[in-house]
Amino acid sequence: MLVKIKTGATLSGAEQEFVESLRLFPTTCLAVVDLDVGDNGTRQVDAVLFTARGITVIEVRGFRRRQSGILNISADGPWTISDARADLDDDGVVSPSDQLEHAVYAVKSRLERALLDPGHVCGAVVLVPFHGVVVRPARTTLRPGIDVLAANARDATELRIYLEGFSAGPRNWTADRVFAAYRALGSDNGPSRAELIADGFDAVLPDPNPIGLPEAGPPRVAPIPGEPTRRQSIASWVVVALAVIGIFVVIGVIISGLAHDSGRAHPEPGSGMTSSTPTPPPYHPVECWPLQPDC
């Protein structure tokens, strides 16, 4: 961890405690403390931390008296500790979270005006309690990328976890990029490129395909079928001939069936199927006698 403080800066007790906490960590990081950014340097920023992954802006606040208990963060009201208002130093009109939002915006705008891509700039309000005081929860997320955490030199666990978690991930910031960024922010007491590399920053971006992993081969192409052999050609023609013969056989069976059904439906004249009217027998007169029955 490299910690650089602006020449002639006057740090508060909380800021000095914060600097001591940072110097305890072996994380690859550059902490530039007490910067004047914004338009014509009108925005004072407590600290900007450069890691190999990105940038986080820090707003440091201490306490006027010893307070311990449950920390309650309100977006539009006062912060409390165990139902009592948190007695923070520099407790002005602007809340610590709003002050941090302004600082994040100022840092990002300053880098963009210098034609540098800042990426996603995060931020954290670091509350520095008195030694022996316990503030819980020690870390609260206001929104994605903006956190509030409590830490001092004797209990810097949450600050260490925050920095290690923020540093984990793809390494996008090289020594040259960090060097150009803190110079664009107006730092007059930054480290050299050699110091950044010695702290763990890469001279160039790492290879996305580390040694030991197999290279991605060329895309697979479907094989092109070769010319058919003589045996395959003969077999194909035999199949086609059999299919044609089968079609003609089916057509012949259909025509024969239709012709047979047509002959049965329309019989020829003179066949045994034709009906005729019977001829009555010839009449022969019968001579009847008187009282003869059936006459």
Q: What is the pLDDT of residues 271-292, one digit of tens each?
A: 445 555 556 666 556 565 555 5
259 confidence band (pLDDT: 50, 70, 90): confident
Looking at every residue in the chain, the average pLDDT score rounds to 83
pLDDT at 165: 87
Instruction: Compute the distance between CA of residue 60 and CA of residue 209 in angstroms, rounded to an integer.
Output: 40
Query: Poorest-confidence range of 45-54, 87-96, 148-157, 206-215?
Result: 206-215
pLDDT at 210: 57
pLDDT at 61: 94
For the chain, the distance separating the N- and C-terminal CA atoms, rounded to the nearest angstrom, is: 152
What are the C-alpha distances in Å from 126 to residues 15, 96, 147, 195? 10, 9, 9, 27
Q: HSE, CB side, 13 Å, CA atoms: give it for residue 70.
A: 4
105 confidence band (pLDDT: 50, 70, 90): very high
pLDDT at 279: 61
pLDDT at 92: 67
Cβ atoms of 37 and 54 within 8 Å: the answer is no
Residue 262 pLDDT exceeds 90:
no
- Over residues 186-205, the pLDDT tens digits come to 887 789 999 999 999 999 87
Compare 13 and 286 and report the one with higher pLDDT.
Answer: 13
Instruction: Compute the distance between CA of residue 117 and CA of residue 113 in angstroms, rounded to an integer.
Output: 9
pLDDT at 19: 95
Q: How far is CA 110 from the centre of its chain?
A: 29
Residue 20 pLDDT exceeds 90:
yes
Cβ atoms of 60 and 15 within 8 Å: the answer is yes
The structure's pTM equals 0.69
Tokens for 120, please give them.
């996603």
- Over residues 27-76, the pLDDT tens digits come to 899 999 999 886 666 788 999 999 999 999 999 999 999 999 999 987 77
**Closest to 147 in 3D by CA, of 127, 167, 118:** 127
166 confidence band (pLDDT: 50, 70, 90): confident
Local structure of 11: helix, strand or coil: coil
How many Cβ atoms are within 10 Å of 148's Cβ, its own excluded? 23
As a whole-number percent, the residues of the chain with pLDDT over 70 amount to 78
Query: Poorest-confidence range of 21-25, 36-40, 101-105, 121-125?
Result: 36-40
Cβ atoms of 132 and 63 within 8 Å: the answer is no
pLDDT at 83: 86
CA 26-31-33 angle, 5° bins: 140
Average pLDDT over residues 6-14: 89
Q: Which residue has the tokens 């960024």?
A: 181
